[in-house]
Structure 1
């Protein structure tokens, strides 16, 4: 029996769509990140019960941190983007978290920079607040050790391929690193939106992109580039096709980052069928109904989609590009040739 809803909600489901194709489905994945981080801060004495924790969020991390604060008796303040919808706003309010949303921005970079700047202002006024720094503090990786242990225990012996959104770097990167440390042969494929600086696509915009959580407009220190074997850049239309295709084929209603990961996984699996493929479904599809799933009739069939294989970031183009990455992103060599 669980003593708090956060402990129950965080547990993922492993769903085998095919013997070698598995969906790691979360209701909201970042609860693992938030719970592990808050627990570590309390255990080390960095914060005490009753303190206020603050961070920036475009959506699911806000809910995760609010639940973690509720679980451990902390106060929570979120500086949110305009993508925080009414459903989440009401939940945060009832949970006791405070939310302030920044003004709409023309692009992701301005939105993230505005939120970070606002946090700096709040910290200057309230020096006792603790900034969680989900994008930069490695404590957000700790919670995923339990997930990696579950995967190692429940998946068949043999090589694995892990596919998911890069985001802050705490989820896919940590899972792969923990599994490799346990002795598993793991390839890691990261999914990015166009316009993200994390793997150098900031020069290619996607005006329809509403999957900001898997990319970034500022550098994230939690991303360990050398952990990723391949990178896929997927635009909104392809992500929607993947999400619709997954719902039709597997009955799994998940967000756009999951759609992008599913699409990517099917392509990687066709290239190399020697591994068990695990793709991450980080959240459900509910917050994407009006802006994405309602357009399902216009989504291309995923079987008609194919990525552009690139050797230089200058070759990046819509709707979908990919490259081998691991080992290329090292000091003095930031990735595919510029």
Structure 2
């Protein structure tokens, strides 16, 4: 029996679509990140029960942090984007979290930077508040150790693994692969990105329809460990929608657009190498994408007709779907400065 709902909703489900293609399905994955981070802060004395934790969010992390604060007796303040919908706003209010939303912007970078500026103002006014910095503080990795143990226990040892999922902060797929590798598992890590994200160098390729900014960013994320990733897929809205619709139709799994992109990439990776068990991450449910994505399922291309452009350089990235072995196109190898620890957040 669970003592708090956060402990229940964080539990993942492993669903085998076939023996070598497995969905790691969460109701809301970032609860692991938030619970692990808050527990660490309490254990180390960095914060105490009753303190206020503050961060920026486009929605999912706001809910996760509010649940973690409720679980551990903390106060929560969120600087949110306009993507925080009414359903979430009401939940946050009842959970005791406070939310302020920045003015709407069609530019993701401007939206993120506006939220960062507002957090700086809040911290100046309330220096005792603790800024969680979900995309830059390594403590957000800790909660995923238990998920990695579950994967290690449930997945067969006789075959190597390929883990496919949205990059986001790097604290999910990066942490899972890292912990599994520490346990001695042979794990290839495949990251999924939207076009327009600076995280893996696609900022020069716009995709105005893409609404899964939480797996990429318009600013650098300090938590992403690029060297952990073996391959990257850049996926546009239509391809992500195709992957999500096909997943729902074939398996009944109703998940977000990042899951659709991961499902698409995992199926392609499996066709390339069927000696490995491919696990793709479903980070959240599809409810917030009903009007913006699923309602347009008729426009989704047939998944079986899609294939990525294999690129040899980031300059070659193009719609609707591109892929590359990341070590081969990593711009840092060509002298690009490593990402500095940034101050923006999203998710």
Which residue of the partner structure matches residue 213 of structure 2? 212
1:70-89 paired onto structure 2 within 5 Å: 70-89=70-89
Query: Which stretches in structure 1 are left out of the alignment for 5+ residues?
Result: none
8 Å Cα contact 1:189-1:230 kept in structure 2: yes
8 Å Cα contact 1:12-1:26 kept in structure 2: yes
- How far residue 105 of structure 1 moved from its aligned partner, in angstroms, is 1.2
Residues 327 and 310 of structure 1: is their aligned pair in 2 closer, same or farther, counting only changes over 3 Å? Answer: closer
Residues 155 and 191 of structure 1: is their aligned pair in 2 closer, same or farther, counting only changes over 3 Å? Answer: same
Which residue of the partner structure matches residue 152 of structure 1? 152
3-state SS, counterpart of residue 142 of structure 2 = helix
8 Å Cα contact 1:226-1:327 kept in structure 2: no
3-state SS, counterpart of residue 221 of structure 2 = coil
- How far residue 333 of structure 1 moved from its aligned partner, in angstroms, is 3.4
8 Å Cα contact 2:256-2:282 kept in structure 1: yes
**After the TM superposition, which segments of 4 or more aligned residues of structure 1 sit over 3 Å from their partners?**
326-335
> Aligned Cα RMSD in Å?
1.1
8 Å Cα contact 1:227-1:326 kept in structure 2: no
1:43-62 paired onto structure 2 within 5 Å: 43-62=43-62
Higher relative contact order (CA 8 A, sep 6+): 2
8 Å Cα contact 1:328-1:334 kept in structure 2: no
3-state SS, counterpart of residue 326 of structure 1 = helix
8 Å Cα contact 1:80-1:102 kept in structure 2: yes
3-state SS, counterpart of residue 139 of structure 2 = helix
3-state SS, counterpart of residue 205 of structure 2 = coil
Output the CA distance in 1 between the equivalents of 2:201 and 2:332.
15
Segment of structure 1 superposing worse, 35-44 or 95-104: 95-104
Which residue of the partner structure matches residue 182 of structure 1? 183
1:204-226 Cα shifts (integer Å, max 9, x gaps) = 11101110110011111110000
Which residue of the partner structure matches residue 288 of structure 2? 287
Output the CA distance in 1 between the equivalents of 2:127 and 2:46.
14
Which residue of the partner structure matches residue 321 of structure 1? 322
- How far residue 331 of structure 1 moved from its aligned partner, in angstroms, is 5.1
TM-score (norm 2): 0.95
8 Å Cα contact 1:42-1:48 kept in structure 2: yes
Output the CA distance in 1 between the equivalents of 2:328 and 2:148.
23
